[in-house]
Structure 1
Amino acid sequence: MLDATLLRTFQAVAQEASFTKAAERLNLTQSAVSGHVRRLEEQAARPLFVRSTRSVALTPAGEMLLGYARAILRLNEDARRHLSGVTDGIHLRIGASDDFMSSWLPGLLRQFQSVRVGVSLEVRVANTGLLLADLARGELDLVVGSRCRGDQTGQLLWREPLVWAYAKGGLPETVPALPLALFPEPCPYRDAALASLAAAGRDWRIAVVSPSVASLRAAAAAAFAVTPLNRSLLTPQLDALGADAGLPALPDVEFMVFTQKHDGPREIAELTGEIVRAARLF
């Protein structure tokens, strides 16, 4: 029988791809986390991770066990809630990109939770690509994010242009390689920007990588790098550069809400509706 405590530690290491980060998340020492994984590998009779000095990755056996671990831990939690008599609580896991969480979404989530007894919300902020992967694995119930193109089904909130943002005054006339400030991979803005530059034959280099909208805007406002942003994120310190600066056109950004395909609590549909209604005001 697999120990739930060991499975919980194993899942944290798999999600963080790091023993150190898993230890911080679980409030354990790194040696304790390593010990839990070692004991689980003994129970499974095979290695679960490939370790190197720089990374931690699941083995095929680890990939298989991770699916079972999620199901076992979910069943354990359901059993605990039923045995304790607390069966009416609803916990929704929301994924949101930084541009949503740095504007109107937190207020909407607070209001949604405040009028629903027994409903709690947990928000994970990351790039849309990472959040959609979490959604596909069943780790999130709803994702609010953006894309420039994609096959994922979802509900469109609105569209707006993606632009090259840079300090007022424009680029210097002699820039051998365009300095870029980008979100980490995977990111639709990053992919669209690099594809457009490649098609135009424009040289570029990455100067800044940050998950924060504020950091990218600061780099652009300081004339340190050009960053692709949706037009509504421009500040008074930024201009949208175009063909006159030798930059290719960028596609529109689609802002979307995504949910799991299978049926879930009705609160997921209710929250989706609230997000759609709020988006119409922006």
Structure 2
Amino acid sequence: MEIDALRTFLAFVDTGSFTRAAQQVCRTQSAVSMQMKKLESDVATPLFVKQGRQLVLSHAGIQLASYAKQLITLHDEAHKQLKTSVDLVRIRLGCPDDYAQSILPRITQLLHQLIEQLDLQITCASTLELKKQLDQGLLDLIIATRSPSSEEGYFLHASTGVWVKSELFNYRQEMTLPLAIFMRDCKFHQAAIEGLLKTERQFKVVGCCSSLSAIEGLVKNHLAIGAMAEISKAESLIIIDDPTLPALPSVDLVLLLANHTHNPISQTMVKKLAEQFVNEGKH
């Protein structure tokens, strides 16, 4: 069944007249009659019957009318979508797991505002692993941490390291500290372990974790205290106010851009993205 024939058929359904249907589809009446004969041949059953001097729909014609409307609607929607669609801009974004709840959602929102037809692919890993993938051309843009003394990347946010516990955890200064910390390549891991060793504070590592959710699970279930950036702290966790605990470092969160030739996002776009993020944080 041809779409044009179905349109003509529906024009007859709406007007009840081959003459008016021919006018609506801009064809001669004889051309419309030939279309309808071809349509009847396609469905192998009469679509019209005579009722006195008038031609009306047969039972099969009534059934076809319902399907014809659906077919034409789907055809027109598909044609419209294919005609107006453009190639998606694919951006491969990396984000450390510990900032997936805080920084990532807003960066994602800003990217979609900046690029209307966006295919965003998100990878979560440690900053070191993400930088490696960025250098290899496997990622286009990453959210990463840097030292406050560094000028690397486009600045997003500064966050201080904090010690955290659950509300029901019975913290005491004299206790052997059960720790849930990030892997050894994390600044908070190094600062926590080295600081506790220097102050000769007794501790036990309950879990050395590659993800924030793992640390949160251990802390929320009162098995350990954690060390993380304040921006990563879940609302249900409490910052431990104990000056005898070693200070944890501050970190800057930045956007790093890959330099590979076919990167779909430019330095100008990343700079604008970072500026928008910072400006919104001030309000």
On the 8 A contact 1:165/1:227 being kept in 2, the answer is: yes
Q: Could you say if the C-alpha distance between residues 216 and 142 of structure 1 is closer, same or farther in structure 2, counting changes exceeding 3 Å?
A: same
Q: Which residue of 1 aligns with 2:258?
A: 260
On the 8 A contact 2:96/2:144 being kept in 1, the answer is: yes
1:175 aligned partner, one-letter code:
M
1:205 aligned partner, one-letter code:
K
**Which deviations, in whole Å up to 9, do the C-alpha atoms of 1:26-75 show, x marking residues without a partner?**
xxxxxxxxxxxxxxxxxxxxxxxxxxxxxxxxxxxxxxxxxxxxxxxxxx
Q: Distance in 2 between matches of 1:157 and 1:129?
A: 18
Out of 245, 248, 261, the position equivalent to 1:247 is: 245
Q: Distance in 2 between matches of 1:108 and 1:182?
A: 26
Larger Rg: 2
Residue aligned with 2:115, SS? coil
TM score, norm. by length of structure 1: 0.57
Q: Please show how residues 117-196 of structure 1 align to structure 2 within 5 Å.
A: 119-148=118-147, 153-168=152-167, 170-176=170-176, 178-196=177-195
Q: Which residue of 2 aligns with 1:281?
A: 280
On the 8 A contact 1:157/1:254 being kept in 2, the answer is: yes
Q: Distance in 2 between matches of 1:189 and 1:238?
A: 17
Runs of 4+ in 1 over 6 A off after TM superposition: none
Q: Please show how residues 17-36 of structure 1 align to structure 2 within 5 Å.
A: none
On the 8 A contact 1:96/1:126 being kept in 2, the answer is: yes
Q: Distance in 1 between matches of 2:215 and 2:187?
A: 15
TM score, norm. by length of structure 2: 0.57
Q: Distance in 2 between matches of 1:239 and 1:265?
A: 41
Q: Could you say if the C-alpha distance between residues 276 and 218 of structure 1 is closer, same or farther in structure 2, counting changes exceeding 3 Å?
A: farther
The alpha carbon displacement at 1:124 in A equals 0.6
On the 8 A contact 2:175/2:202 being kept in 1, the answer is: no
Identity of aligned residues (%): 22
On the 8 A contact 1:156/1:256 being kept in 2, the answer is: yes
On the 8 A contact 1:149/1:188 being kept in 2, the answer is: no
RMSD: 3.1
2:245 aligned partner, one-letter code:
L
On the 8 A contact 2:91/2:264 being kept in 1, the answer is: no
The alpha carbon displacement at 1:214 in A equals 3.1
1:166 aligned partner, one-letter code:
K
Residue aligned with 1:281, SS? helix
On the 8 A contact 1:147/1:188 being kept in 2, the answer is: no
Q: Distance in 2 between matches of 1:101 and 1:92?
A: 17
